[in-house]
Structures are given as structure tokens and as C-alpha cells.
Amino acid sequence: MVEAAELEFRASGYAGTSMCSVARRAGVSTKTLYRLIPTKAELFREVISRRIGGFVRASAVDARDQAGLREALTRLLTAYGELTLSKETVAAYGLVLAECRRFPELGRLFLDETSRGTGEAMTSWLLRHQKLGLLRLRDAALAAGMLRGMMAMDPQRAVILGQRSPLDHGEIAERASACAMLFLDGCCG
């Protein structure tokens, strides 16, 4: 149902998507859909949460893995880039920008889900590495926000505004490596 909702939101926008159209696309009754997910806003939240879930799982990898700190941070930022710079996420962000004035709850929901999910995961990752003595941070949550912005803001905005095509895996990995190096130059003790 969540996959059907994502396809329906992408095809019809938030305003143009109905619970009936999602149920039809998912092959379930509307009654079943409403029983499991009672509102369109909750359905949209499920779409966003599902996308973020893979990144959250990737960020939970044990801090004492075999790779060095730079390689580990590059992997984390690559996973974040794959999430935030994917055509699906860029499309969802564009949808939210286009419709959040009419549906303010959509903007709130998107910001809350994306910031909380990815921000908490990245903050937790940074804190684990700080406890190991590998990083010096005054405010891990602030550092996580800066890392997320450094990794995604400019390329995501360029794609949303139609100024470039989505980044491929190689471009994301290259940007992640550059961001990791820049960040660690300022945070390693």
C-alpha cells in the first residue's frame, strides 16, 4: 500500500491523490486502507518514513567497524546522499514545495519526518564515534545538520530547479568523500 501511495503521489500530486486511488492501485479495498492508515497525511508520512528507514539502518552499523573513520563517514554520507538525492526523494520534495501552501500539514510532516529521521540517525552515529574518542564535537546534533546540508543542499536544489540531472552513484560517493574529508579536518583530535 505504501508503494502504491508513493506511485500515486508521484503521478497525481498530493491534492490529486485520493485514498480510493491508492487502494485501487494497491489492490485492496478502501475500507482496508482506511483501517490501516486513516488519513492521506498519515499515508504520505508512511511513504517518507519508508524511504528514510534504509538510511537509519545503515547508520546503525557498529562504530568500531573495520574501516577507518574517514571511510566510515564516507559510507554514511553516501547512504544519506543516495536517500536525499534520489529521483524519488527529489520528486517528493518538489511535490511538498508545490503543495505545502495549500496543505501546510504536508510541509510540517515532511520536515519533521526527514529532519528527525535522518538527523537523529546521523547524530547518533557521530555520538558513537565521539565516545570512542575519534571525534571532538561541541554539539553533535548541530554537526549532523551541517553534514546533511553540506552533502545534499546544493545538488538537491539544482535538481529540483531543473538545473541538472540527478547525481549518479559515483557523483554521490565523490561528494560524500569530499564532505567527509572537510568535516573530519575540523573535528578530529
Residue range 137-168, pLDDT digits in tens: 999 999 999 999 999 999 999 999 999 999 99
Q: Is the pLDDT of residue 187 over 70?
A: no
Q: Is the pLDDT of residue 44 over 60?
A: yes
Distance CA 40, CA 22 (A): 10
Q: 1-38 is classed in which CATH architecture?
A: Orthogonal Bundle (1.10)
pLDDT, mean of residues 163-174: 94
**Single pTM value for the model:** 0.82
pLDDT, mean of residues 168-173: 95
Q: Three-class SS string for 29-95?
A: CHHHHHHHCCCHHHHHHHHHHHHHHHHHHHHCCCCCCCCCHHHHHHHHHHHHHHHHCCHHHHHHHHH
Q: What is the pLDDT of residues 51-95, one digit of tens each?
A: 888 788 777 765 555 468 899 999 999 999 999 998 888 888 889
pLDDT at 56: 82
Contacts (Cβ under 8 Å, ≥6 apart) of 126: 135, 137, 140, 143, 144, 147
pLDDT at 50: 86
User: What does each C-alpha distance from 109 to 14, 93, 103, 114, 179 come to in angstroms?
Assistant: 13, 12, 10, 8, 28
pLDDT, mean of residues 177-187: 88
Per-domain boundaries in the chain: 1-38, 54-187
* CATH tag, 54-187: 1.10.357.10
What percentage of residues in the chain have a pLDDT greater than 90?
62
pLDDT at 154: 94
- Mean confidence (pLDDT) of the chain: 89
